[in-house]
A and B are shown apart, each in its own frame.
Chain A
Amino acid sequence: MNDPWLPYSRGRHAEPVQGAPALLAESLFVTYPGAHGLALRGVSVRVPCGTCAALIGPNGSGKSTLLKAVAGLVSVASGVVRVHGNPVGACHHRLAYLPQRGEIDWAFPISVERLVLSGRYVHLGWLSWPGSRDREIASAALDHLGLSSLADRQIGMLSGGQQQKALLARALAQEADLLLLDEPFNAVDARTQDSIYQAMRSLRDGGKTLVVATHDLSRLDGAFDAVVRLRDGQVETKPLNGVAGKERAWTT
């Protein structure tokens, strides 16, 4: 693949292609360096703009790998990934990847506000500092997710659900259109899950596209517009139109 990879620097981003889906993957093959076999074997996925898709499947089925391939964190052996019609490395600002909570150093001495403000960095690049407009955007994002009262807290002082929402707020501050969430419901209780779902839905209703890798199969019908099921690095796509009870069939 010789897709352009634009490094971190202000304003060097491709604009979305009209009519293109938010996420398009075609016959995607991914190998992990040093590992045997393929992590993804010919995965094709199409996620239209403004929808919320669940990515399900057992551990090791390739959910995380697919998200990482779309985010440009693992290199693609063959196949095509397009985000809003553009190659992966050309549209950093359109795409927000929310890592599993354990991959962030929550003891790091920064405030929630500053974590959310880091969503603006992709628009700033080197030697440029967040201005008053960036601060306004970040504070609006905090407000949207109901975190305004916690803005001054150190990020480790938040609960698991609040941390997940802080990451969503950062994606909002980034003005990303496609959000990739890796296991956002891990290690949070049912009430917290509710509030994360609520936050996700409000982002979807605001025109964002969400792809969510999850183990939680209990409410696929209500919360998601589509479900992509992975098994052994291969995909099965089924539309989901609020047909209750059907999700049992996809339980792996």
Chain B
Amino acid sequence: MDYLTAPFRYGFMQNAILAAVLVGVTCAVLGVHVVQRRMAFIGEALAHTTLPGLVIAHLFGWSLSLGGLCAALATALLIGWASRRDAVKEDTAIGVVFTGMFALGVLLMSRTRSYRDLTHMLFGNVLGVTTEDLWFIGGVAAVVLTCLALFHKELELTACDPIYAEVIGLRADLMRFLLLGLVALAVVTGIQTVGVVLTSALLITPAATAALLSDRMPRRMLLGALLATACSVAGLTASYVTETSSGSAIVLCCTAAFMAAYAARSAWHRLRPTAAIPVTKDEPSEVAPA
């Protein structure tokens, strides 16, 4: 047991575990909405488009988080705006914008000499998280989770039945912009832990795992948060013990959890065939007189 708890006596490991759990939980809870609205691709795109922002901030000595955040928010607005016109479909707009931004980031990277800092951007450096970073990550977690709690019923309704929402005066595109903004925020903290390339895994994999196990929003969010916590702790421990990349280890734990859940679900349906046939037959039911 000492063998496994030993790493957490170090200050940098304590910071790392706190950061990984905070980011994991935030992304997982937000990810439940992202997965349900089939916005997985846009999450991926927002993570990649932070790269030029990060590199520019690095070159000028600004805050990396701020640089990444500006780039992600700009992309969210750009995609939202571009796909409002019918000329370009949304997934096409995302494909064009995100690859262009990523290429710009790599181009700028190739002009700098310090490649080590930049691989941290691509693949994360959760072991290098400072107390200052922790405050930023904690702040983002608080903002994202508070917004999700405050606007839960509106987010739910605009995704489930956007037309009804419009009829009662609730604009579905407004809620979508809110969600995109929150994704941009969460993605910037994800880059600290698992890097630009793997951040969307934190957003999607735990939420997708939870979606296999439950058909209620709040339960999915709770499950996703628990999974993200477990995977962060397990991944960090594994990476310390085996001396491998921490971000990849966390993501691979999430992937393993997904595959386990998928197998468990298939086995469940095979054992109980009725559970796989959800739709009930129409029965002429009684209607009480008014």
Which residues in A have some Cβ–Cβ distance to B below 8 Å? Answer: 5-9, 34, 71-73, 89, 92-93, 95-97, 99, 103-105, 108-111, 114-115, 118, 121-122, 124, 126-127, 129-130, 143-147, 150, 153-162, 165, 170, 188-189, 191-192, 194-195, 198-199, 202-203, 205-207
Contacts and interface: CB of A to CB of B under 8 A. Distances in A.
A32 B290 CA distance: 39
Given A99-B164, A161-B282, A110 B289 contact: no
B168 interface: yes
B160 A144 contact: no
Interface string B77-89: 0000000001000
Given A7-B169, A195-B284, 15 more contacts: A8-B170, A97-B167, A104-B163, A108-B159, A109-B217, A121-B154, A121-B157, A121-B168, A130-B153, A155-B160, A156-B279, A157-B280, A158-B280, A191-B284, A206-B290
Give me the 9 closest cross-chain CB pairs, A-B, nearest first: A206-B290, A108-B160, A8-B169, A146-B285, A8-B170, A122-B168, A154-B215, A157-B278, A159-B282
A88 to B, nearest CB: 10
Contact of B287 (A109, A145, A160, A170): A145
Given A6-B169, A8-B170, A145-B287, A73 B153 contact: no
Nearest to A145: B287
B141 to A, nearest CB: 21
B167 A92 contact: yes
A183 B232 CA distance: 49
B278 A154 contact: yes
Nearest to B152: A129
Given A95-B167, A122-B168, A191 B157 contact: no
B169 A99 contact: no
Q: Range of interface residues on chain B? A: 35 or more
Contact of A89 (B153, B169, B217): B169
A92 B279 contact: no
B1 interface: no
Given A146-B287, A154-B278, A159-B280, A105 B163 contact: no
A82 to B, nearest CB: 16
Interface in B109-153: 150-151, 153
B282 A192 contact: yes
| Residue in B153, B278, B280 whose Cβ sees the most chain A Cβ within 10 Å | B153
12 contacts: A73-B166, A99-B164, A104-B164, A108-B160, A111-B216, A143-B288, A154-B215, A157-B280, A165-B285, A202-B287, A205-B289, A206-B290
B90 interface: no
B161 interface: yes
B14 interface: no
Nearest to B278: A157
A147 B168 CA distance: 24
A196 B54 CA distance: 58
A114 B219 CA distance: 14
A115 B171 CA distance: 18
A138 to B, nearest CB: 13
Contact of A118 (B161, B163, B280, B281): B161
A105 B169 contact: no
A203 to B, nearest CB: 7
A191 B169 CA distance: 35
A158 B285 CA distance: 13
A114 B217 CA distance: 11
B216 A205 contact: no
A156 B217 contact: no
A160 B282 contact: yes
B290 A203 contact: yes
B150 A127 contact: yes
A119 to B, nearest CB: 9
B282 A144 contact: no
A145 to B, nearest CB: 7
A129 to B, nearest CB: 7
Contacts of A121: 153-154, 157, 168, 170
Nearest to A150: B280
A144 B211 contact: no
A34 B211 CA distance: 39
Contacts of B156: 108, 110, 114, 118
| Residue in A99, A108, A188 whose Cβ sees the most chain B Cβ within 10 Å | A108
Interface in B15-61: 36
B99 interface: no
| Residue in B150, B153, B169, B279 whose Cβ sees the most chain A Cβ within 10 Å | B169
B145 to A, nearest CB: 16
A133 to B, nearest CB: 16
Contacts of B280: 150, 153, 157-159, 162
